[in-house]
Amino acid sequence: MSRLDSFIRRVSAQRDCLNMVSKEMQGRTGIVLEFGLGNGRTYDHLRSLFGPEDIYVFDRQVNAHPDCIPDDDHMILGDVLQTLPAFVDRFEGRAKLAHCDIGTGDKEASIALAMKMSVYLNKLVQTGGYIVSDQDIQVDGWVVQPLPEGVKPGRYFIYQKT
């Protein structure tokens, strides 16, 4: 498979997972967390699903398309492991969704980061809330959810916090 085909499958899986979870969460209140702004495509999609007012985005730096950058109050810049503790203090138990697009191409490093983040995500995500991730994050109390039709297992992951 070419790298282009792999990219298309990954972003299609990402979109399909987020669309499915957004339908499951209709009527639920809470904030949405986006880890990894990149060029802003997924943030833009999340805005179309949830509106911009309750989406908080984490990244080391901003390299996004100008139309896809959250305002300063919703953009958290810096090392995620350094910015998350203060964020947890403000928003513990208030996230209905955390989307983690943190893969770097180094599988072991990406999984290690995901596991370190999971401690904070577990505090942020409300009971019944969802974690949608490009990494397999096995955490007690997170139940693996079925993927949308057409998404190959292992391509993307959906968990619900119990």
Chain segment 108-132, per-residue pLDDT in tens: 888 888 899 999 999 999 999 999 9
Per-residue model confidence as pLDDT tens digits over 34-91: 999 999 999 999 999 998 789 999 999 999 999 999 999 999 999 999 999 999 999 9
DSSP the chain: --HHHHHHHHHHHHHHHHHHHHHHTTT---EEEEE--TTSHHHHHHHHHH-GGGEEEEESS--S-GGG---TTTEEES-HHHHHHHHHHHHTT-EEEEEE----S-HHHHHHHHHHHHHHHHHHEEEEEEEEESS----TTEEE-PPPTTPPBTTBEEEEE-
Domains of the chain with CATH codes: 3-161 (3.40.50.150)
